[in-house]
Amino acid sequence: NAGVMQNPRHLVRRRGQEARLRCSPMKGHSHVYWYRQLPEEGLKFMVYLQKENIIDESGMPKERFSAEFPKEGPSILRIQQVVRGDSAAYFCASSEYGTGVDEQYFGPGTRLTVT
Amino acid sequence: GNSVTQMEGPVTLSEEAFLTINCTYTATGYPSLFWYVQYPGEGLQLLLKATKADDKGSNKGFEATYRKETTSFHLEKGSVQVSDSAVYFCALKDPQGGSEKLVFGKGTKLTVNP
Task: Give B9-56 pLDDT, tens digit per residue.
Answer: 899 999 999 999 999 999 887 899 999 999 988 889 999 999 999 999
Share of chain B above pLDDT 90, in %: 79
Band of residue B88 on the pLDDT scale cut at 50, 70, 90: very high
Cα separation of B67 and B71, whole Å? Answer: 6
CB contact under 8 A, B46 and A103: yes
| Å between B22 CA and nearest CA of chain A | 15
pLDDT of residue A19: 98
pLDDT of residue B98: 61
CB contact under 8 A, B44 and A91: yes
Band of residue B108 on the pLDDT scale cut at 50, 70, 90: very high
Stretches in chain A below the pLDDT threshold 70: 1, 98-101
Residues 6+ apart with CB under 8 A from A1: A26, A27
Residues 6+ apart with CB under 8 A from A61: none
Residue A100 DSSP symbol: T
Identity of residue A28? G
- Residue A39 contacts B, CB cutoff 8 Å: no
Contacts of B105 in chain A (CB under 8 A): 42
HSE at residue A115, side-chain half, CA atoms within 13 A, is 4
